[in-house]
Amino acid sequence: MTARLSRPERRALQRADEALLSLPLVLNGDPRPVAAHIRHIVHLLRDPQANSPCSAAVAHITGLFDRSVPPTPAAPLACRKGCSHCCVQMVVLTAPEAFFVAAQLRKRPKTVAAIVEANSRAQGLTLHERLHSKIWCPLLEDAICSVYAARPLACHGFVSLNLEACLAAFERGAPPDIPTPQLNVTTLETCRMLYMAALRLAGLPDAAYEMNEVLATIFATDKAEARWLAGENILAGVPAKAPPPPQYDKAIAELAAFVAPTV
């Protein structure tokens, strides 16, 4: 697919996309649903009428992930409402995911202060030191995620088949070795890749950051999301986490190149 589409072709493609967008993603090698979601996310990120284009784009990708993993996996999950042992880990997320979280906190100054405080406590700590410092996610309230529907993609994807493995890692300091259904891992990777391809096609950075650190900067920046979407590098002072490995990066670039003529 190299030539740009004519207007009638574009309309036909839009109609075909609409039929695919609400379906779960089936990992069967069919590129059409993947391309449809990429085009839709680019469209959401570029929507000038939206209050928060980033929230709309991230809600779409996390919704896609949630409906694409089986509600009752072959082996039952150990995760339960009120079980939050894993919410002591460092959360890594992209800027649009952070804008989505930040949009939930506009009227919650205590939570904003708790995020800024958690960010200061974590400064200078290694990953290992941070895990053992027990810096709980400041978004937890009574052991429940207070931004559950808007939680980052990594949090959507983090599930466990074994409570004892979580207790060993997060309460007793053993190296984390949490069993997770393979379908969740593969679906999360696919959703993340198509979301990253959409960011690139929208001309936006796909860098990832530590959650409290990037949120503290967003709270301190006037009109942060609008300025970031307009291309201003408002997150220049926030260290980016390691970029995707080369093989993964190449797959994202190939996906973006495949969809580019139709965006």
- Cβ proximity to ligand SF4, 42 vs 100, nearer residue: 100
- SS3 for 18? helix
Q: Report CA-CA distances (Å) from 18 to 15, 35, 222.
A: 5, 12, 35
Shortest Cβ 37–ligand SF4 spacing (Å): 23
Alpha-carbon distance 54 to 44, whole Å?
Answer: 8
From the CB of 99, what's the least distance to ligand SF4, in Å?
14
Residue (20 or 90) nearer to ligand SF4, CB: 90
Structure tokens at 71: 């509600």
CB of 215 or CB of 252, closer to ligand SF4? 215
CB 158 to ligand SF4: min, Å? 8
DSSP-derived secondary structure letter, 223 = T
Binding residues for ligand SF4 (CB under 6 A): 87, 91, 137, 139-140, 145, 147, 151, 155
Question: Minimal distance in Å, beta carbon 201 to ligand SF4?
Answer: 27
The β-bridge partners of 184 are: none
Q: Which is nearer to ligand SF4, 140 or 207 (CB)?
A: 140
Q: How many angstroms separate the CA atoms of 37 and 21, rounded?
A: 6
* Alpha-carbon separation of residue 43 from 36, 139, 211, 262 (angstroms): 11, 30, 25, 12
